[in-house]
Amino acid sequence: MRCKGIVKGYGEGYAIATAQPINLLSIDSNGIVNDSAHILNGKSIAGRVLIFPNAIGSSVGAYRLYAAKVNSKAPNAVVCSKADIITASACAISNIPLVECHEFDMLMELCSKRDVIATVDATNALITLRMEEMR
Amino acid sequence: MQLSREEEDALDGKYGDALAVAYRILLAIGNAMDADRLVPVRWAHISGVNYNTIGDAGLAFLERISMDAVANNIKAKVTSTLNPMGYDPVKGYDDDRFVERQERIRKAYEAMGIIGSYTCIPYEVFPIPARGEHVSFAESNAAIYANSMLGLVTNKESALSALASALTGKAPYSALRVEEARTAHTMIDVKHDIKDEVDAALLGYFAGKVNEQCISFRFRSGLVEGSPIGVDGRARINAKALCSALGTSGSAGMFIINDVNSATHDDAKYRRRIEYTSRDAMMVKDELSDEDDGNAIVFGSPQLGLNELGMLANMLKGKRFKKRCLLFCARCVYEEAKRIGYISPIERAGAEVYSDCCSCLTPLISRDEVDSVITNSVKAAYYLKNWNRVGVCLKSMREIVRDECYDV
């Protein structure tokens, strides 16, 4: 799947996808989402490919993603439908590959059915999905 | 994004790591938002000051940037101000580890020539640049207020992009910085009366969920004159409440009041029209307010301004709070209020007045001490509920004074 590369790099992991925007302030240093109003509440984004529309709420959210990265609990790559200032700045200082995908609905659909391994090549603007066990 | 030769050099590290990181942040944002260049800003307001939110990772990052900036003689290029920190340094806080880390954050910022303002309402504290000037405001309520009420131009910046703007004096020319984007495609037809700050904030919280960068409101009264949202008196308090709630629930950075009596009024230009009824207001309130009562009262998120302190002082004459009341305001607002005589009736009523910090994400309110909180702030309600995990009862300032005070 073609996409737009924003923060260069390469990352792979099981996809964790939500159509609900995330207040990044709710992510703790262990990569767990702590927002009782969010569908990912209690779930970990560590080592995953995080797929979500955009960040909302606190301008400080960028530091939470960075803290997760320092703690080795950040996602391996991030995919947004509309990359925003908070997410882009967080990924820039954390060296987390970030892309924007304009076929977001299709991506959500593919990732919601079963376990999917996503590979994000932000340098070459490419997302690859694989429906198999990761070695 | 097109960079000048000098900007390229800075990105490559010619002027040190701090400036290189700042340009890396601006470049990523520019790429994300399809900016073609950087434009100068007049003022940067930076969030990410509270140790409670940025933690050890944020502290280490800021100390690294600050040390490198000082070593390379890099200082803030434009007026740069800071959001609240985690505690009131005059009152102190009973956690040495917290205080030590918080003080290091404060020093890291101030060493870069950033003003230790510790306020989330810079627009009520500092002189306002001329309409149309670009600024770079993190702190969502301030960004929305600047765009919507003051005619300044900013995106809803992140803590990092505002820091990058402080060090470079620039921001990517994108989103709400481009004139064509400063128009709303969705209009919210407000059928519910906006009687007080809680009504205004519930509307803001609802509108944020529409998830667009600019929203239009049409009020029943139709007029901007007599509008519930404005820059004077009650209407200003409502505007602050609306801005902070809008910034909490979504990504909107601006709103426009659709004045049905203006010459340019044209409802047909909206692609989408959403009705906001009393039922919607009730549903938002139910989401945020889950208690009928609380064991502490909290005022201030955003921090209270001089007019709010004046109003509260007036209401509290001859009254005393039945329970603990914490109130947050900007330091210089506190000094001014004290001089005018607003602070003594408030303190005599039993309220504790804190400066340099705010109710959002402060360690001062924890579940160990309070189960539930009564507040007039939707932003405070959201963070107290989801972050501090305490129960919340939403009421207007007037209702709180009516229900939670006895006469003395």
Asked if residue B253 and residue B203 are part of one domain, the reply reads: yes
CATH number of the domain that residue B127 is part of: 3.30.499
Q: B255 in helix, strand or coil?
A: strand
Asked if residue B191 and residue B109 are part of one domain, the reply reads: no
How far apart, in whole angstroms, are the C-alpha atoms of residue A39 and residue A26? 12
User: Given an 8 Å threshold on Cβ–Cβ distance, is A62 in contact with B158?
Assistant: yes
Domain range for residue B396?
289-407
Chain B positions touching A69 (Cβ under 8 A) are 57
User: Given an 8 Å threshold on Cβ–Cβ distance, is B58 in contact with A67?
Assistant: yes
Q: Does A57 touch chain B (CB under 8 A)?
A: yes
Domain count, chain B: 3
Asked if residue B74 and residue B19 are part of one domain, the reply reads: yes
| Residue spans per domain, chain A | 4-130
Last residue of a domain, one of B156, B177, B198: B177
Q: Does B208 touch chain A (CB under 8 A)?
A: yes
Asked if residue B236 and residue B203 are part of one domain, the reply reads: yes
Tell me the angle at which helices A61-70 and B159-168 cross, rounded to the nearest 10 degrees.
100
Answer whether residue A128 shows pLDDT above 90: yes
- CA nearest to B250 within chain A: A56
Q: Does B129 touch chain A (CB under 8 A)?
A: no
Chain A positions touching B28 (Cβ under 8 A) are 6-7, 88-89, 91-92, 98
Question: Which tens digit of pLDDT belongs to each residue from A5-44?
Answer: 999 999 999 999 999 999 999 999 999 999 888 999 999 9
Angle, alpha carbons B354-B358-B362 (nearest 5°)? 100
Asked if residue B38 and residue B128 are part of one domain, the reply reads: yes
Asked if residue B293 and residue B280 are part of one domain, the reply reads: no
Dihedral sign for Cα atoms in the order A37, A120, A108, B252? positive
What is the residue-level pLDDT of chain B in tens, covering all 408 positions?
999 999 999 999 999 999 999 999 999 999 999 999 999 999 999 999 999 999 999 999 999 999 999 999 999 999 999 999 999 999 999 999 999 999 999 999 999 999 999 999 999 999 999 999 999 999 999 999 999 999 999 999 999 999 999 999 999 999 999 999 999 999 999 999 999 999 999 999 999 999 899 999 998 765 555 688 888 889 999 999 999 999 999 889 999 988 776 766 777 889 999 999 999 999 999 999 999 999 999 999 999 999 999 999 999 999 999 999 999 999 999 999 999 999 999 999 999 999 999 988 788 887 788 899 999 999 999 988 888 889 999 999 999 999 999 999
- pLDDT value of position B225: 57
Asked if residue B145 and residue B241 are part of one domain, the reply reads: no
Asked if residue B214 and residue B170 are part of one domain, the reply reads: no
Asked if residue B243 and residue B218 are part of one domain, the reply reads: yes
- CA nearest to B56 within chain A: A67
- pLDDT value of position A135: 46
User: Given an 8 Å threshold on Cβ–Cβ distance, is A62 in contact with B140?
Assistant: no
SS (H, E, C) chain A: CECEEEECCEEEEEEEECCCCECHHHECCCCEECCCCCCCCCCECCCCEEEECCECCCCCHHHHHHHHHHCCCCCCEEEECCCCHHHHHHHHHHCCCEEECCCHHHHHHHHHHCCCEEEEECCCCEEEEECCCCC
Mutation for testing the B interface, residue in A59, A78, A91 having most B CBs under 10 Å = A59
Q: What is the CATH number of domain A4-130?
A: 3.50.30.10
Closest CA to A48 of A68, A80, A22, A74: A74
Asked if residue B232 and residue B107 are part of one domain, the reply reads: no
CATH number of the domain that residue B319 is part of: 3.30.499.10
Chain A positions touching B159 (Cβ under 8 A) are 59-60, 62-63, 89
How far apart, in whole angstroms, are the C-alpha atoms of residue B56 and residue A29? 10
ipTM: 0.93
- Active-site annotation holder among A26, A29, A44, A58: A58
Question: Which tens digit of pLDDT belongs to each residue from A37-82?
Answer: 899 999 999 999 999 999 998 899 999 999 999 999 999 999 999 9
Bridge-based pairing of strands A98-100 and A77-80 is parallel
DSSP assigned state of B257: E
Q: How far is the CA of B300 from the CAs of A85, B177, B356, in angstroms?
A: 27, 29, 12
Backbone φ and ψ of A15, nearest 5°? -75, 140
Last residue of a domain, one of B115, B147, B177: B177
Query: What does the DSSP assignment read for B167-232?
Result: HHSEEES-GGGSGGGSS-SEEEEE-S---SHHHHHHHHHHHHTT--SEEEEEETT--STT-SSSSS
Asked if residue B206 and residue B157 are part of one domain, the reply reads: no
CA distance A77 to chain B (A): 15
Last residue of a domain, one of B240, B267, B284: B284
- pLDDT value of position B128: 97
Q: Does A90 touch chain B (CB under 8 A)?
A: yes
- pLDDT value of position A55: 94
User: Given an 8 Å threshold on Cβ–Cβ distance, is B47 in contact with A60?
Assistant: yes
User: Given an 8 Å threshold on Cβ–Cβ distance, is B29 in contact with A92?
Assistant: yes
Tell me if residue A58 is catalytic: yes
* Closest partner CB to A89 (pick from B25, B56, B139): B25
